[in-house]
Amino acid sequence: WIGKFLKSTIKKWHIEIRSGSEMILEKKIERGILQGDSLSPLLFVLCMDPLSRKLNSKYPKVGVQTDSQSFVTNHLLFIDDLKLLAENEDNLKAMKEETKNFFCAVGLEMNREKSATNCAGCQEDAVFLEGSQGYKYLGITEDSSSAIKRETFEKVKAEIISRVDRLCMTKLNGVNMFRAI
């Protein structure tokens, strides 16, 4: 019943642009997941779960270290972003091909302009990053080694300070102030 519900719901997706009561444009969504719809992240996760399971079972994992913990994985998935991680070029190329085949099977497309790689063997499907050239993953600028760039830390720091300054000008009590921060 879930499949039937989703199919009938997706068939009804359309966009309307209005100026007051006047309809300027109405467009039916022919394919893809409607961005901004509260159901879209769930649909993407459901769609990507088989790929995630296949990558986990078929390819070696690499260690990912954070400040307090370490994890092993070979990919990261969040909303509509996918990041493949591999110890060597052969594994990365194989994972990329697996991903492309999966995307083809489920009707998804990889956007080369929004994809980046530090692997020369994968540059036909993604922008090749050289030297300190950066790319954004989940809104955070990283360089070709996947290290978060210093400018990103400075930007986040400035945003936090700006937010705290704005909140300090409000009449929030202490408890609500800390919640807002």
Whole domain around residue 103: which residue ranges?
2-148
**31 domain residue, yes or no:** yes
45: phi then psi, degrees, rounded to nearest 5? -60, -45
Structure tokens at 143: 């360089």
Torsion of CA 66, 72, 77, 78, to 10 degrees: -30
Helix (H/G/I), strand (E/B), else coil: 16: strand
**157 domain residue, yes or no:** no
pLDDT computed for residue 50 by the predictor: 94
Structure tokens at 35: 């961005």
Pick from 68, 69, 70, 92: nearest CA to 82: 92
CB neighbours of residue 143 within 10 Å: 17
Query: How many structural domains comprise the chain?
Result: 1
**164 domain residue, yes or no:** no
What is the C-alpha separation between 63 and 46, in angstroms, rounded? 26
**159 domain residue, yes or no:** no
**61 domain residue, yes or no:** yes
Count Cα atoms within 13 angstroms, Cβ side, for 22.
Answer: 2
**161 domain residue, yes or no:** no
**96 domain residue, yes or no:** yes
**153 domain residue, yes or no:** no
Per-residue pLDDT of the chain (181 residues; tens, 9 = 90+): 777 887 788 788 888 888 888 888 888 877 666 667 777 777 778 888 999 999 999 999 998 777 777 889 999 887 778 888 899 989 999 999 999 999 888 888 887 877 877 777 787 888 777 766 666 666 666 665 555 556 666 776 777 788 888 878 887 777 777 676 6
